[in-house]
Amino acid sequence: MEPGNETHLSKLFLLGFTKDPALQPVIFGLFLSMYLVTVSGNLLIIFAILSDPHLHTPMYFFLANLSFSDICFTSTTIPKMLVNIQTQSRAISYTGCITQMFFFLLFIGLDNCLLVVMAYDRFVAICHPLHYTAIMNPWLCVQLFLVCWTISLLHALLHSLMLLRLSFCTDIEIPHFFCELDQVVHRTCSDTFLNDLTIYGASVLMGCGSLAGILFSYSKIVSAIRAITSAQGKYKAFSTCVSHLSVVSLFYGTGLGVYLSSATAHNSHSTATASVMYTVVTPMLNPFIYSLRNEDIKKALKGTFGWKPSTNQVS
């Protein structure tokens, strides 16, 4: 292979879900609706937390950052897909593809790290309630937040720089709706052994390592809850974890589903369809999970929009 072949690659083509023109308006409307719900829902969570002083606690600090990350996460992929459908173009520049991939990896890594930190926060709150304020002090929260960003940034940079070393023979067709790392890597003309090793290694460290940390935290939480004598105390302690557990199950469950579908399915379009679950559906559902089961968020949202209960009502 001649060196420098990648300089001739000006565009890549995202094939999306289907080439049927009749289905394009349906896909456009569906994804536009989900994107608007995702952005508006997560913005409401952020505004509620910022506007209510009672929510200026470590748990809601990390929740606000998770909502911000979800907005950025979906914004790296969906708008470009909507533009391509609207303009009837499947093209994305090489630079645009690398940039999209970098920010996608950055924010999915940030989501991953924040879920671990939120599990640690619940562990401290339930297992060490008397020392919670001292342990989860503002300085530690900022440090944990910076660690999440640093890990995510290094993760995204590693894969992006590893991709830059590869050569492309010609314009590439990617059977996906965004520049997914594995799909792009395996459509190059170079030896991808090091890239594959990096992808699998990083997946184990980021995915399995984070999940192990979450499971360890919850094993301690379950032990602490079992030691509580009153049923009401057990319910109150467990109820503070339900929303986080639901989000964790959704995030890792859909991610595992995509991994298994890509490993077993020979049709790349099936992988693209499965990817919708963790790239679009999960960030869209997170605000509903936290708002529907969280009385503090409900009160904050009512206060934000002036939905105050009537003073004539008898409690």
pLDDT in tens, 221-266: 999 999 988 888 888 888 889 889 999 999 998 877 777 666 665 5
In a domain, 212, yes or no: yes
In a domain, 144, yes or no: yes
pLDDT in tens, 140-195: 999 999 999 999 999 999 999 999 988 887 778 888 899 999 889 988 888 889 99
In a domain, 140, yes or no: yes
What pLDDT, on the 0 to 100 scale, is given for residue 270? 64
What pLDDT, on the 0 to 100 scale, is given for residue 254? 82
Nearest to 159 by CA among 72, 210, 98: 98
In a domain, 148, yes or no: yes
What pLDDT, on the 0 to 100 scale, is given for residue 101? 95
In a domain, 305, yes or no: no
Helix then strand count (H, E) for the chain reads: 13, 3
Q: In sequence order, what are the beta bridge partners of 92?
A: 12
pLDDT in tens, 285-297: 999 988 876 778 8
User: Cα separation of 288 and 40, whole Å?
Assistant: 11
In a domain, 105, yes or no: yes
Range of the domain at 51: 8-291
In a domain, 20, yes or no: yes
What pLDDT, on the 0 to 100 scale, is given for residue 138? 95
Q: Compute the Cα dihedral for 246, 251, 255, 258 and give only its sign.
A: positive
- The residues, any chain, with a CB within 8 Å of residue 268's CB and separated by 6 or more, are 175, 176, 183
In a domain, 157, yes or no: yes
Q: In sequence order, what are the beta bridge partners of 13?
A: 91, 173
What pLDDT, on the 0 to 100 scale, is given for residue 7? 44
Residue corresponding to tokens 């049923």:
231
Q: How many structural domains does the chain have?
A: 1
Nearest to 108 by CA among 152, 75, 77, 63: 152
Q: Residue 263 sits in a domain of what CATH number?
A: 1.20.1070.10
- For the record, the structure tokens of 301 come out as 């949202």
